[in-house]
Each structure stands twice: as C-alpha cells, then as structure tokens.
Amino acid sequence: MVKTWFITGTSSGLGRLLAERLLQRGDRVVATLRHEGALDELKQRYEDRLHVLTFDVTDIRAVHSNITAAFEAMGRIDVVVNNAGYGLFGAAEEVTDEQIDRQIATNLTGSIQVIRATLPHLRRQGGGRIVQVSSEGGQIAYPNFSLYHATKWGIEGFVESVAKEVRPFGIDFVIVEPGPTSTQFGAGLDHAVPMPEYDDTPAGDVRRAIASNSFAIRGDAGKTVNAMIVAADSAHPPLRLTLGGGACDSIRAALAERLKVLEAQKDIAFSVDSIS
C-alpha cells in the first residue's frame, strides 16, 4: 500500500536519505526544508509524488499553515517524521544567549510545534504515526553538548506524555535514538568560541576529539534509515528505537547506573512519605 509521509529537515542527512528511499519504493512524500533548491533533482525525478515546502520550524505560524496546506493537498498523511534539527557545540559557559535561543527554538520548540500542528489532522483522519528523530543524546550526555542534550531530553519527555494523551485517537509515536552516524551532523554544528579555562577538562577532550575526527562514528546512515522505515511500517513499533551498537551500549550503561543510584536511595525516598 502506498503511504504518504511528511518529513522535516530534508535538505541533507537522514531526512534527505529517508525521502529518497521512500520515493524509490513508490510512496508519496511531503518534504520540508529551509532553503529552496536542495531537492530540485528529486522533484524532477518523482514529480507529483514529491511535494516540497519551504519554511523554518522556528516560524510557528509557518509551521501551522504549511502543515494544514500539506494535509489539504495530500488528503491523508500516514507518517509524520519530525527530523529537523542541529547540534550546538560548546561548554555551557561558552555558548551565547543567542545560540541557546536558536538551539531550543529549532530542536525543541520547533519539534513541539510540528507535533501540535499535526495532531488535529491526524485525529480527524482517524489516526497516524509520528516519528520523532532524537538521539542517544536523549538518554545520555556528552560534555560540550549540554544545550543539544537539553533539547533532546526535553522532546523525549514531551513525546512520552503526548503519546499517552492521543493513544485513544489511534495516534502513536516512535522516538528514534541513533548513535553517532555518518551524516553531515558534524558539518552542521554551531560552535561556541572556546574558553581556555576548559582546555584541560572533559569539555576540552571532546573538543579535541571532534577537531581531530577521532570521535567514534559507528552508525551507517543507510542502515539507520532502513531501520526507521521498518519501525514506521510496523503494526506495533516500540516507543523508543535505539539504533547503533554504541548507542545501545551507552544507553544501557546509563540506565543501569541510574537504577543503581535509585536503589541505593530507596530507604531515603520512602522515608519522606507521610504516614497514614
């Protein structure tokens, strides 16, 4: 059965590759991007099966108007892929207020508004699926990515709550958590101006690893996109889909450590309950 997909952030990376693979298999795609022209080649090849919209997810009015137009034009949208985003690289003290505002506006508020804009249409059509592209960074944290992690941890909490709200309407979610993957994520990083005070800290270690290309990238973009499509096609996908061996190991270790700390606090936790 031919499906219709709505995908944000399709000019490069996972979003672009996802659009290509879906069009190749015969689906219809509404692809969004910030700058015109990035999908001209695909548009010439697939014509009426590719519908391109140009807007920035930080423009809330444009998000809502374009999503309404997309549902009206396509009749039905089966899967919404919330993919637009980028990384802000720098210690918390190094990044500027403007960089913080843009990171949150794009990765967190933008993603929230895309979801909010699609929910009324999905509810009226009797259901649908939203795939939220997060990261292993929605479960773990690296130095120098504090604001990026803030957005990914934030959107995962938002989605987990909303998923419970809209389940009765036949709307479900998949949160995709890839580890470091061979995309253009690194090239798109917004870098803070380094402070020498952080040279001999974990933040400095990560900065040097990024600069020397020694930061381990194990994920294959093509395999990652294929796994996302399989999950989106599945009748009962998991709420969270971790992709990459490194991501799986890192998240498992983080969760195990949190559980260990929680269990050690059990007596203190229960000690503050009121006694009935």
Name the residues annotated as catalytic: 134, 148, 152
> Alpha-carbon distance 156 to 242, whole Å?
13
> Alpha-carbon distance 137 to 144, whole Å?
12
Cβ–Cβ under 8 Å, residues 51 and 70: yes
3-state SS class at 7: strand
> Alpha-carbon distance 148 to 108, whole Å?
9
Cβ–Cβ under 8 Å, residues 8 and 83: yes
> Alpha-carbon distance 276 to 270, whole Å?
13
Q: Which residue has the tokens 């009797």?
A: 126
Exposed (0-12), middle (13-18) or buried (19+): which is 70, by Cβ within 10 Å?
Answer: buried
Q: Mind giving me the DSSP string for 100-154?
A: HHHHIIIIIIHHHHHHHHHHHHHHHTT-EEEEEE--GGGTS--TT-HHHHHHHHH
DSSP code, position 273: S
Cβ–Cβ under 8 Å, residues 11 and 56: no
233 token code pair: 């096609």
Cβ–Cβ under 8 Å, residues 162 and 112: no
